[in-house]
Structure 1
Amino acid sequence: MGTPLGDFIRARRDSIQPQSLGLPDHGRRRAPGLRRSDLAGRAGISVEYLTRLEQGRDRNPSVAVVNAVADALSLSASEREHLRFLSKITGGECTAHARPAPPLREVRPQVLETLRLLEPGIAMVTNRLGDVLARTSAYESVTGGTGLLDSDAPNLTRYVFTDPRARTFFADWDAVADEQAFDLWLAPSIGSSERLTAELAPVAGPDFTRRLNSHEVPRRGALRLKHPAGGELRLLRETLDLASDAQQLVVFLPADEETSQALARLPDLPTHGRLRAIS
Protein backbone atom coordinates (compact mmCIF):
# COMPACT_ATOMS: atom_id res chain seq x y z
CA MET A 1 0.00 0.00 0.00
CA GLY A 2 1.41 3.40 -0.95
CA THR A 3 1.77 6.50 1.18
CA PRO A 4 1.19 10.21 0.48
CA LEU A 5 4.98 10.66 0.50
CA GLY A 6 5.51 7.93 -2.08
CA ASP A 7 2.62 9.19 -4.20
CA PHE A 8 4.09 12.70 -4.25
CA ILE A 9 7.59 11.55 -5.22
CA ARG A 10 6.23 9.33 -7.98
CA ALA A 11 3.91 12.05 -9.30
CA ARG A 12 6.75 14.59 -9.47
CA ARG A 13 9.06 12.04 -11.10
CA ASP A 14 6.44 11.26 -13.73
CA SER A 15 5.99 14.97 -14.50
CA ILE A 16 9.67 15.66 -15.29
CA GLN A 17 11.14 15.28 -18.75
CA PRO A 18 14.77 14.03 -18.62
CA GLN A 19 15.90 16.72 -21.06
CA SER A 20 14.83 19.46 -18.65
CA LEU A 21 17.46 18.20 -16.18
CA GLY A 22 20.16 17.73 -18.81
CA LEU A 23 19.71 13.95 -18.87
CA PRO A 24 19.75 11.87 -22.07
CA ASP A 25 16.48 10.80 -23.64
CA HIS A 26 16.31 7.01 -23.39
CA GLY A 27 13.63 6.85 -26.08
CA ARG A 28 10.07 5.60 -25.91
CA ARG A 29 9.08 4.06 -22.57
CA ARG A 30 5.87 2.78 -21.01
CA ALA A 31 5.73 5.34 -18.20
CA PRO A 32 6.16 9.09 -18.66
CA GLY A 33 8.77 11.24 -16.97
CA LEU A 34 12.02 10.48 -15.21
CA ARG A 35 13.31 6.95 -14.73
CA ARG A 36 13.78 5.69 -11.18
CA SER A 37 17.45 5.08 -11.94
CA ASP A 38 17.92 8.70 -13.05
CA LEU A 39 16.24 10.12 -9.95
CA ALA A 40 18.09 7.74 -7.62
CA GLY A 41 21.39 8.68 -9.23
CA ARG A 42 20.74 12.40 -8.85
CA ALA A 43 19.69 11.92 -5.21
CA GLY A 44 22.60 9.65 -4.33
CA ILE A 45 20.41 6.77 -3.17
CA SER A 46 19.87 3.28 -4.54
CA VAL A 47 17.10 2.44 -6.98
CA GLU A 48 15.90 -0.23 -4.54
CA TYR A 49 15.58 2.33 -1.74
CA LEU A 50 13.74 4.80 -3.99
CA THR A 51 11.36 1.98 -4.97
CA ARG A 52 10.66 1.30 -1.29
CA LEU A 53 9.94 4.99 -0.72
CA GLU A 54 7.54 5.23 -3.65
CA GLN A 55 5.74 2.02 -2.74
CA GLY A 56 5.37 2.97 0.93
CA ARG A 57 7.63 0.20 2.24
CA ASP A 58 9.98 2.72 3.84
CA ARG A 59 8.12 5.32 5.90
CA ASN A 60 10.95 7.01 7.78
CA PRO A 61 13.45 8.60 5.39
CA SER A 62 16.09 10.76 7.03
CA VAL A 63 16.10 14.53 6.65
CA ALA A 64 19.17 14.18 4.44
CA VAL A 65 17.35 11.79 2.09
CA VAL A 66 14.27 14.03 1.93
CA ASN A 67 16.45 17.03 1.06
CA ALA A 68 18.40 15.00 -1.52
CA VAL A 69 15.19 13.86 -3.22
CA ALA A 70 13.92 17.45 -3.22
CA ASP A 71 17.15 18.61 -4.85
CA ALA A 72 17.04 15.80 -7.40
CA LEU A 73 13.46 16.70 -8.37
CA SER A 74 14.33 20.45 -8.50
CA LEU A 75 11.33 21.19 -6.27
CA SER A 76 10.17 24.73 -5.65
CA ALA A 77 10.13 26.12 -2.10
CA SER A 78 6.42 25.33 -1.64
CA GLU A 79 6.88 21.81 -3.05
CA ARG A 80 9.81 21.21 -0.68
CA GLU A 81 7.66 22.28 2.24
CA HIS A 82 4.95 19.84 1.17
CA LEU A 83 7.49 17.03 0.76
CA ARG A 84 8.81 17.62 4.30
CA PHE A 85 5.24 17.70 5.65
CA LEU A 86 4.38 14.41 3.93
CA SER A 87 7.52 12.76 5.30
CA LYS A 88 6.43 13.73 8.82
CA ILE A 89 2.87 12.44 8.59
CA THR A 90 4.00 9.30 6.77
CA GLY A 91 6.42 8.55 9.59
CA GLY A 92 3.82 9.34 12.27
CA GLU A 93 5.81 12.28 13.64
CA CYS A 94 3.26 15.04 12.99
CA THR A 95 1.22 14.62 16.17
CA ALA A 96 -0.61 17.94 15.70
CA HIS A 97 -2.23 16.50 12.57
CA ALA A 98 -3.01 13.16 14.20
CA ARG A 99 -5.47 14.48 16.74
CA PRO A 100 -9.03 13.39 15.94
CA ALA A 101 -10.56 16.48 17.56
CA PRO A 102 -12.76 18.54 15.22
CA PRO A 103 -11.33 21.88 14.07
CA LEU A 104 -12.05 25.02 16.03
CA ARG A 105 -15.03 26.82 14.51
CA GLU A 106 -15.13 29.74 16.92
CA VAL A 107 -13.31 32.90 15.89
CA ARG A 108 -11.54 34.85 18.62
CA PRO A 109 -13.00 38.28 19.49
CA GLN A 110 -9.74 39.97 18.48
CA VAL A 111 -9.97 38.43 15.03
CA LEU A 112 -13.62 39.47 14.69
CA GLU A 113 -12.61 43.01 15.67
CA THR A 114 -9.92 42.92 12.97
CA LEU A 115 -12.59 41.95 10.44
CA ARG A 116 -14.73 44.86 11.61
CA LEU A 117 -11.82 47.26 11.11
CA LEU A 118 -11.30 45.88 7.61
CA GLU A 119 -14.80 46.95 6.53
CA PRO A 120 -15.64 47.80 3.82
CA GLY A 121 -12.84 45.56 2.64
CA ILE A 122 -13.49 42.06 1.32
CA ALA A 123 -12.20 39.58 3.91
CA MET A 124 -13.02 36.29 5.59
CA VAL A 125 -11.75 33.88 8.21
CA THR A 126 -11.43 30.28 7.04
CA ASN A 127 -9.49 27.08 7.72
CA ARG A 128 -7.80 24.52 5.48
CA LEU A 129 -11.03 22.52 5.29
CA GLY A 130 -12.66 25.48 3.54
CA ASP A 131 -15.07 26.43 6.34
CA VAL A 132 -16.10 30.09 6.04
CA LEU A 133 -16.07 30.96 9.75
CA ALA A 134 -16.52 34.73 9.60
CA ARG A 135 -16.66 37.39 6.88
CA THR A 136 -17.11 41.06 6.22
CA SER A 137 -20.31 42.39 4.71
CA ALA A 138 -18.32 43.18 1.56
CA TYR A 139 -17.40 39.47 1.24
CA GLU A 140 -21.12 38.67 1.46
CA SER A 141 -21.81 41.17 -1.32
CA VAL A 142 -19.14 39.74 -3.61
CA THR A 143 -20.38 36.17 -3.11
CA GLY A 144 -24.09 37.09 -3.09
CA GLY A 145 -26.25 35.12 -5.51
CA THR A 146 -23.62 32.43 -6.05
CA GLY A 147 -24.86 29.92 -3.47
CA LEU A 148 -21.60 29.88 -1.49
CA LEU A 149 -23.14 31.28 1.69
CA ASP A 150 -26.54 29.61 1.41
CA SER A 151 -25.96 27.03 4.16
CA ASP A 152 -25.74 27.66 7.89
CA ALA A 153 -22.15 26.36 7.86
CA PRO A 154 -20.75 27.40 4.46
CA ASN A 155 -17.75 25.46 3.23
CA LEU A 156 -15.78 26.57 0.18
CA THR A 157 -14.38 23.12 -0.59
CA ARG A 158 -17.81 21.49 -0.55
CA TYR A 159 -19.21 24.34 -2.67
CA VAL A 160 -16.45 24.08 -5.29
CA PHE A 161 -16.89 20.36 -5.82
CA THR A 162 -20.64 19.85 -5.36
CA ASP A 163 -22.43 23.04 -6.44
CA PRO A 164 -22.68 23.50 -10.24
CA ARG A 165 -22.80 27.28 -9.75
CA ALA A 166 -19.17 27.20 -8.58
CA ARG A 167 -17.98 26.36 -12.11
CA THR A 168 -19.54 29.59 -13.34
CA PHE A 169 -18.58 31.76 -10.36
CA PHE A 170 -14.89 30.79 -10.47
CA ALA A 171 -13.57 31.66 -13.93
CA ASP A 172 -10.54 29.44 -13.27
CA TRP A 173 -12.46 26.63 -11.61
CA ASP A 174 -9.74 24.04 -12.16
CA ALA A 175 -7.14 26.16 -10.35
CA VAL A 176 -9.50 26.82 -7.42
CA ALA A 177 -10.37 23.11 -7.21
CA ASP A 178 -6.65 22.28 -7.09
CA GLU A 179 -6.18 24.73 -4.21
CA GLN A 180 -9.08 23.41 -2.15
CA ALA A 181 -8.10 19.76 -2.59
CA PHE A 182 -4.45 20.44 -1.75
CA ASP A 183 -5.34 22.39 1.40
CA LEU A 184 -7.02 19.31 2.88
CA TRP A 185 -3.53 17.92 3.46
CA LEU A 186 -2.92 20.92 5.74
CA ALA A 187 -6.20 20.59 7.65
CA PRO A 188 -6.23 21.09 11.45
CA SER A 189 -6.25 17.31 11.98
CA ILE A 190 -6.13 14.15 9.92
CA GLY A 191 -9.49 13.15 11.40
CA SER A 192 -11.22 16.33 10.23
CA SER A 193 -9.71 16.02 6.77
CA GLU A 194 -10.73 12.37 6.47
CA ARG A 195 -14.31 13.16 7.48
CA LEU A 196 -14.69 15.80 4.76
CA THR A 197 -12.87 13.62 2.21
CA ALA A 198 -15.20 10.70 2.93
CA GLU A 199 -18.19 13.00 2.50
CA LEU A 200 -17.02 14.55 -0.77
CA ALA A 201 -15.48 11.57 -2.58
CA PRO A 202 -18.76 9.79 -3.46
CA VAL A 203 -20.52 12.94 -4.71
CA ALA A 204 -17.60 14.86 -6.26
CA GLY A 205 -16.06 11.82 -7.96
CA PRO A 206 -12.79 11.84 -9.91
CA ASP A 207 -12.63 15.66 -10.07
CA PHE A 208 -11.99 15.57 -6.34
CA THR A 209 -10.08 12.34 -5.71
CA ARG A 210 -7.65 12.87 -8.61
CA ARG A 211 -6.69 16.30 -7.30
CA LEU A 212 -6.41 15.10 -3.70
CA ASN A 213 -3.99 12.33 -4.66
CA SER A 214 -1.90 14.27 -7.18
CA HIS A 215 -0.21 16.47 -4.53
CA GLU A 216 0.03 19.27 -7.07
CA VAL A 217 1.17 22.35 -5.15
CA PRO A 218 -1.08 25.22 -6.36
CA ARG A 219 0.34 28.53 -7.59
CA ARG A 220 -2.46 30.69 -6.09
CA GLY A 221 -2.50 33.51 -8.61
CA ALA A 222 -5.15 36.19 -8.98
CA LEU A 223 -8.67 34.94 -8.26
CA ARG A 224 -11.05 35.57 -11.17
CA LEU A 225 -14.75 35.68 -10.30
CA LYS A 226 -17.73 35.99 -12.62
CA HIS A 227 -20.15 37.84 -10.40
CA PRO A 228 -23.83 37.62 -11.39
CA ALA A 229 -24.22 41.41 -11.12
CA GLY A 230 -20.70 42.84 -11.32
CA GLY A 231 -19.13 41.04 -14.25
CA GLU A 232 -15.61 39.68 -13.99
CA LEU A 233 -13.58 40.52 -10.88
CA ARG A 234 -9.85 39.95 -10.45
CA LEU A 235 -8.81 39.78 -6.82
CA LEU A 236 -5.43 39.34 -5.17
CA ARG A 237 -5.38 37.41 -1.91
CA GLU A 238 -3.34 38.30 1.15
CA THR A 239 -3.43 35.51 3.75
CA LEU A 240 -2.51 35.85 7.42
CA ASP A 241 -2.02 32.57 9.27
CA LEU A 242 -3.67 32.41 12.70
CA ALA A 243 -1.50 29.49 13.73
CA SER A 244 -2.80 29.06 17.29
CA ASP A 245 -6.35 28.74 15.94
CA ALA A 246 -5.51 26.69 12.81
CA GLN A 247 -7.33 29.41 10.86
CA GLN A 248 -6.47 31.99 8.20
CA LEU A 249 -7.56 35.57 7.68
CA VAL A 250 -7.83 36.22 3.94
CA VAL A 251 -8.11 39.74 2.53
CA PHE A 252 -9.13 40.19 -1.11
CA LEU A 253 -7.75 43.21 -2.99
CA PRO A 254 -8.79 44.42 -6.45
CA ALA A 255 -6.02 43.52 -8.87
CA ASP A 256 -6.80 46.26 -11.39
CA GLU A 257 -8.83 49.41 -11.88
CA GLU A 258 -11.49 47.56 -13.87
CA THR A 259 -12.18 45.39 -10.82
CA SER A 260 -12.32 48.44 -8.56
CA GLN A 261 -14.94 49.97 -10.85
CA ALA A 262 -16.88 46.71 -11.09
CA LEU A 263 -16.95 46.46 -7.29
CA ALA A 264 -18.30 50.01 -7.11
CA ARG A 265 -21.27 48.89 -9.21
CA LEU A 266 -22.25 46.05 -6.87
CA PRO A 267 -25.56 47.09 -5.29
CA ASP A 268 -24.91 45.94 -1.71
CA LEU A 269 -21.20 46.67 -1.35
CA PRO A 270 -20.34 49.31 1.29
CA THR A 271 -18.82 52.39 -0.30
CA HIS A 272 -17.03 54.36 2.42
CA GLY A 273 -13.24 54.12 2.27
CA ARG A 274 -13.33 51.45 -0.42
CA LEU A 275 -10.08 49.63 -1.12
CA ARG A 276 -8.61 50.51 -4.51
CA ALA A 277 -6.58 48.47 -6.96
CA ILE A 278 -2.93 48.08 -6.05
CA SER A 279 -0.24 48.76 -8.63
Structure 2
Amino acid sequence: MADQPEGIRFSQVYLRRADLLADSTRMRNRIAVAIAEAGESSEDLRKFGQRIQSEQGILIGRSSYPYEWPPILKAMDIRDVLDSITTIYNSISGYNGAIQAQRRKAFLDHCRRILSEEQVRYQIDDKGGVHFAVDQEFEAVRISTISGLGASRYNGVRALYDEAFAALDRTPPDGKAALRSAFFATESLFRLIFPSSHQLSSGEIQKHLEPLVNRVYANQKPAINLAQKLVASLKDWIDGAHFYRHEPGDEEPAQPPLELAIYMVSEAGGHLRWLAKLDAMAGALPSP
Protein backbone atom coordinates (compact mmCIF):
# COMPACT_ATOMS: atom_id res chain seq x y z
CA MET A 1 0.00 0.00 0.00
CA ALA A 2 3.04 2.25 -0.03
CA ASP A 3 2.05 3.78 -3.37
CA GLN A 4 -1.53 4.59 -2.30
CA PRO A 5 -2.67 7.80 -0.55
CA GLU A 6 -2.94 7.43 3.20
CA GLY A 7 -5.39 8.99 5.61
CA ILE A 8 -7.83 10.18 2.94
CA ARG A 9 -11.49 9.17 2.90
CA PHE A 10 -12.40 6.39 0.43
CA SER A 11 -14.82 8.61 -1.51
CA GLN A 12 -12.14 11.26 -2.05
CA VAL A 13 -9.79 8.73 -3.62
CA TYR A 14 -12.01 6.29 -5.52
CA LEU A 15 -15.25 8.15 -6.18
CA ARG A 16 -13.92 11.22 -7.95
CA ARG A 17 -16.15 12.43 -10.78
CA ALA A 18 -15.07 13.38 -14.31
CA ASP A 19 -17.38 16.42 -14.17
CA LEU A 20 -18.42 18.80 -11.39
CA LEU A 21 -21.86 18.93 -9.80
CA ALA A 22 -24.20 21.91 -9.93
CA ASP A 23 -25.61 21.08 -6.49
CA SER A 24 -25.19 18.56 -3.70
CA THR A 25 -27.23 17.64 -0.62
CA ARG A 26 -24.05 16.77 1.23
CA MET A 27 -22.57 20.16 0.33
CA ARG A 28 -25.66 21.92 1.71
CA ASN A 29 -25.55 19.93 4.94
CA ARG A 30 -21.85 20.55 5.43
CA ILE A 31 -22.13 24.29 4.72
CA ALA A 32 -24.93 24.42 7.30
CA VAL A 33 -22.54 22.90 9.82
CA ALA A 34 -19.81 25.35 8.77
CA ILE A 35 -22.21 28.26 9.38
CA ALA A 36 -23.18 26.84 12.77
CA GLU A 37 -19.52 26.49 13.73
CA ALA A 38 -18.76 30.03 12.55
CA GLY A 39 -21.22 31.40 15.11
CA GLU A 40 -19.91 31.53 18.66
CA SER A 41 -23.35 31.81 20.24
CA SER A 42 -27.06 31.50 19.51
CA GLU A 43 -27.06 35.29 19.18
CA ASP A 44 -24.44 35.05 16.42
CA LEU A 45 -26.52 32.49 14.54
CA ARG A 46 -29.67 34.59 14.90
CA LYS A 47 -27.79 37.58 13.46
CA PHE A 48 -26.53 35.41 10.59
CA GLY A 49 -30.12 34.54 9.76
CA GLN A 50 -31.24 38.15 9.94
CA ARG A 51 -28.39 39.20 7.68
CA ILE A 52 -29.34 36.60 5.07
CA GLN A 53 -32.94 37.81 5.16
CA SER A 54 -31.98 41.48 4.78
CA GLU A 55 -29.22 40.98 2.20
CA GLN A 56 -30.72 38.22 0.07
CA GLY A 57 -34.44 38.97 0.38
CA ILE A 58 -35.55 35.53 1.55
CA LEU A 59 -37.32 34.43 4.74
CA ILE A 60 -35.63 31.62 6.62
CA GLY A 61 -37.42 31.45 9.99
CA ARG A 62 -35.64 30.53 13.21
CA SER A 63 -31.86 30.33 13.01
CA SER A 64 -30.54 30.57 16.57
CA TYR A 65 -29.46 26.93 16.98
CA PRO A 66 -27.11 24.72 14.95
CA TYR A 67 -29.79 22.07 14.25
CA GLU A 68 -31.94 24.72 12.51
CA TRP A 69 -29.42 25.42 9.76
CA PRO A 70 -29.49 22.18 7.70
CA PRO A 71 -33.23 22.51 6.92
CA ILE A 72 -32.71 26.23 6.20
CA LEU A 73 -30.11 25.49 3.52
CA LYS A 74 -32.08 22.51 2.22
CA ALA A 75 -35.03 24.80 1.43
CA MET A 76 -32.95 27.46 -0.34
CA ASP A 77 -32.41 27.88 -4.06
CA ILE A 78 -28.81 27.08 -4.98
CA ARG A 79 -28.16 30.79 -5.63
CA ASP A 80 -29.07 31.56 -2.03
CA VAL A 81 -26.93 28.72 -0.68
CA LEU A 82 -23.92 30.18 -2.49
CA ASP A 83 -24.83 33.77 -1.60
CA SER A 84 -25.08 32.70 2.04
CA ILE A 85 -21.37 31.90 2.09
CA THR A 86 -20.60 35.51 1.15
CA THR A 87 -23.23 36.91 3.52
CA ILE A 88 -22.00 34.89 6.49
CA TYR A 89 -18.38 35.76 5.71
CA ASN A 90 -19.25 39.48 5.84
CA SER A 91 -21.27 38.95 9.05
CA ILE A 92 -18.52 37.29 11.08
CA SER A 93 -17.19 39.69 13.70
CA GLY A 94 -14.53 39.56 16.40
CA TYR A 95 -13.19 41.39 19.42
CA ASN A 96 -10.63 43.04 17.17
CA GLY A 97 -9.56 43.02 13.54
CA ALA A 98 -7.10 40.17 13.93
CA ILE A 99 -9.66 37.85 15.54
CA GLN A 100 -12.27 38.77 12.94
CA ALA A 101 -9.81 38.00 10.12
CA GLN A 102 -8.93 34.68 11.76
CA ARG A 103 -12.58 33.65 12.13
CA ARG A 104 -13.40 34.65 8.56
CA LYS A 105 -10.42 32.74 7.17
CA ALA A 106 -11.38 29.64 9.14
CA PHE A 107 -14.91 29.83 7.69
CA LEU A 108 -13.63 30.25 4.11
CA ASP A 109 -11.13 27.40 4.49
CA HIS A 110 -13.92 25.16 5.77
CA CYS A 111 -16.26 26.06 2.90
CA ARG A 112 -13.52 25.68 0.28
CA ARG A 113 -12.73 22.20 1.53
CA ILE A 114 -16.43 21.32 1.34
CA LEU A 115 -16.77 22.51 -2.26
CA SER A 116 -13.64 20.61 -3.26
CA GLU A 117 -14.54 17.37 -1.52
CA GLU A 118 -18.16 17.38 -2.68
CA GLN A 119 -16.99 18.05 -6.24
CA VAL A 120 -19.27 20.97 -7.03
CA ARG A 121 -18.48 23.52 -9.71
CA TYR A 122 -17.85 26.56 -7.50
CA GLN A 123 -14.84 28.23 -5.94
CA ILE A 124 -14.49 30.98 -3.34
CA ASP A 125 -12.29 34.07 -3.58
CA ASP A 126 -10.41 35.61 -0.66
CA LYS A 127 -13.28 37.98 0.18
CA GLY A 128 -15.96 35.30 0.34
CA GLY A 129 -17.33 35.69 -3.18
CA VAL A 130 -18.40 32.45 -4.85
CA HIS A 131 -17.54 31.91 -8.52
CA PHE A 132 -18.27 29.35 -11.18
CA ALA A 133 -15.46 26.86 -11.77
CA VAL A 134 -15.02 24.13 -14.34
CA ASP A 135 -11.62 22.67 -13.57
CA GLN A 136 -8.01 23.75 -13.20
CA GLU A 137 -7.39 23.51 -16.95
CA PHE A 138 -10.28 25.87 -17.71
CA GLU A 139 -8.98 28.37 -15.15
CA ALA A 140 -5.50 28.06 -16.66
CA VAL A 141 -6.96 28.99 -20.08
CA ARG A 142 -8.46 32.14 -18.61
CA ILE A 143 -5.25 33.18 -16.84
CA SER A 144 -2.97 32.53 -19.82
CA THR A 145 -5.31 34.34 -22.21
CA ILE A 146 -5.69 37.41 -19.98
CA SER A 147 -1.90 37.48 -19.48
CA GLY A 148 -1.38 37.38 -23.24
CA LEU A 149 -3.66 40.39 -23.63
CA GLY A 150 -1.82 42.55 -21.12
CA ALA A 151 -0.91 45.42 -23.46
CA SER A 152 -3.10 48.51 -23.23
CA ARG A 153 -3.96 48.03 -26.91
CA TYR A 154 -6.01 45.00 -25.85
CA ASN A 155 -7.90 46.55 -22.92
CA GLY A 156 -11.25 46.29 -24.67
CA VAL A 157 -10.58 42.73 -25.82
CA ARG A 158 -9.55 41.69 -22.33
CA ALA A 159 -12.65 43.25 -20.78
CA LEU A 160 -14.92 41.38 -23.20
CA TYR A 161 -13.22 38.07 -22.50
CA ASP A 162 -13.53 38.73 -18.77
CA GLU A 163 -17.27 39.24 -19.34
CA ALA A 164 -17.48 35.72 -20.75
CA PHE A 165 -16.21 34.30 -17.46
CA ALA A 166 -18.44 36.66 -15.47
CA ALA A 167 -21.43 35.22 -17.33
CA LEU A 168 -20.34 31.71 -16.34
CA ASP A 169 -20.07 32.92 -12.73
CA ARG A 170 -23.81 33.61 -12.60
CA THR A 171 -26.23 31.25 -10.90
CA PRO A 172 -27.28 29.55 -13.05
CA PRO A 173 -24.39 30.05 -15.50
CA ASP A 174 -25.36 32.10 -18.57
CA GLY A 175 -23.67 30.14 -21.34
CA LYS A 176 -25.31 32.19 -24.07
CA ALA A 177 -23.92 35.48 -22.72
CA ALA A 178 -20.53 33.84 -22.18
CA LEU A 179 -20.40 32.60 -25.76
CA ARG A 180 -21.42 35.98 -27.14
CA SER A 181 -18.83 37.85 -25.06
CA ALA A 182 -16.12 35.42 -26.17
CA PHE A 183 -17.18 36.03 -29.78
CA PHE A 184 -17.15 39.83 -29.37
CA ALA A 185 -13.69 39.64 -27.76
CA THR A 186 -12.40 37.70 -30.76
CA GLU A 187 -14.12 40.05 -33.19
CA SER A 188 -12.68 43.08 -31.38
CA LEU A 189 -9.13 41.73 -31.62
CA PHE A 190 -9.60 40.76 -35.27
CA ARG A 191 -10.74 44.30 -36.10
CA LEU A 192 -7.76 45.76 -34.24
CA ILE A 193 -5.47 43.74 -36.50
CA PHE A 194 -7.52 44.42 -39.63
CA PRO A 195 -9.20 47.86 -39.25
CA SER A 196 -10.86 47.64 -42.66
CA SER A 197 -12.87 44.60 -41.54
CA HIS A 198 -16.32 45.40 -40.16
CA GLN A 199 -17.19 42.00 -38.68
CA LEU A 200 -15.82 38.60 -37.83
CA SER A 201 -16.92 36.05 -40.40
CA SER A 202 -15.47 33.18 -42.40
CA GLY A 203 -15.27 35.41 -45.45
CA GLU A 204 -13.33 38.11 -43.60
CA ILE A 205 -10.97 35.47 -42.20
CA GLN A 206 -10.25 34.24 -45.71
CA LYS A 207 -9.82 37.78 -47.01
CA HIS A 208 -7.52 39.12 -44.26
CA LEU A 209 -6.11 36.41 -42.00
CA GLU A 210 -5.10 33.76 -44.51
CA PRO A 211 -2.77 36.15 -46.44
CA LEU A 212 -1.20 37.32 -43.16
CA VAL A 213 -0.58 33.74 -42.06
CA ASN A 214 1.09 33.00 -45.40
CA ARG A 215 3.37 36.00 -44.94
CA VAL A 216 4.21 35.29 -41.30
CA TYR A 217 5.12 31.65 -41.98
CA ALA A 218 6.62 32.13 -45.44
CA ASN A 219 9.23 29.50 -46.40
CA GLN A 220 8.03 27.23 -43.56
CA LYS A 221 5.84 24.77 -45.41
CA PRO A 222 4.89 22.57 -42.40
CA ALA A 223 4.14 25.71 -40.36
CA ILE A 224 1.96 27.18 -43.12
CA ASN A 225 0.06 23.89 -43.46
CA LEU A 226 -0.55 23.77 -39.71
CA ALA A 227 -1.47 27.45 -39.51
CA GLN A 228 -4.03 27.10 -42.28
CA LYS A 229 -5.62 24.23 -40.36
CA LEU A 230 -5.88 26.57 -37.39
CA VAL A 231 -7.46 29.19 -39.63
CA ALA A 232 -10.01 26.59 -40.75
CA SER A 233 -10.68 25.77 -37.10
CA LEU A 234 -11.27 29.45 -36.37
CA LYS A 235 -13.75 29.62 -39.25
CA ASP A 236 -15.65 26.66 -37.81
CA TRP A 237 -15.65 28.29 -34.37
CA ILE A 238 -17.09 31.50 -35.84
CA ASP A 239 -19.80 29.61 -37.72
CA GLY A 240 -20.73 27.74 -34.53
CA ALA A 241 -20.92 30.95 -32.50
CA HIS A 242 -23.27 32.48 -35.06
CA PHE A 243 -25.99 29.99 -34.03
CA TYR A 244 -26.24 31.99 -30.79
CA ARG A 245 -26.09 35.47 -32.30
CA HIS A 246 -29.43 37.24 -31.86
CA GLU A 247 -30.32 39.19 -34.97
CA PRO A 248 -33.16 41.75 -34.82
CA GLY A 249 -36.45 40.10 -35.76
CA ASP A 250 -35.19 36.58 -35.07
CA GLU A 251 -36.29 34.42 -32.17
CA GLU A 252 -33.89 34.50 -29.21
CA PRO A 253 -32.01 31.17 -29.20
CA ALA A 254 -32.19 28.95 -26.15
CA GLN A 255 -29.27 28.52 -23.77
CA PRO A 256 -26.54 26.29 -25.20
CA PRO A 257 -25.69 23.15 -23.21
CA LEU A 258 -23.21 24.27 -20.56
CA GLU A 259 -20.49 21.91 -21.75
CA LEU A 260 -20.67 23.45 -25.25
CA ALA A 261 -20.49 27.00 -23.86
CA ILE A 262 -17.45 26.04 -21.79
CA TYR A 263 -15.79 24.49 -24.84
CA MET A 264 -16.46 27.58 -26.97
CA VAL A 265 -15.07 29.95 -24.32
CA SER A 266 -11.99 27.74 -23.94
CA GLU A 267 -11.46 27.67 -27.72
CA ALA A 268 -11.79 31.46 -27.81
CA GLY A 269 -8.84 31.65 -25.43
CA GLY A 270 -6.64 29.78 -27.89
CA HIS A 271 -7.77 31.90 -30.82
CA LEU A 272 -7.19 35.13 -28.88
CA ARG A 273 -3.68 34.16 -27.81
CA TRP A 274 -2.72 33.23 -31.38
CA LEU A 275 -4.28 36.34 -32.91
CA ALA A 276 -2.47 38.56 -30.39
CA LYS A 277 0.81 36.87 -31.30
CA LEU A 278 0.11 37.33 -35.02
CA ASP A 279 -0.66 40.98 -34.34
CA ALA A 280 2.79 41.44 -32.81
CA MET A 281 4.52 39.46 -35.56
CA ALA A 282 2.72 41.39 -38.30
CA GLY A 283 4.24 44.62 -37.04
CA ALA A 284 7.71 43.29 -37.78
CA LEU A 285 6.92 42.22 -41.35
CA PRO A 286 7.93 44.34 -44.35
CA SER A 287 5.07 46.03 -46.14
CA PRO A 288 3.47 43.73 -48.73
Same fold (TM over 0.5): no
Relative contact order higher in (CA < 8 Å, ≥ 6 apart): 1
Q: Which has the higher strand share?
A: 1
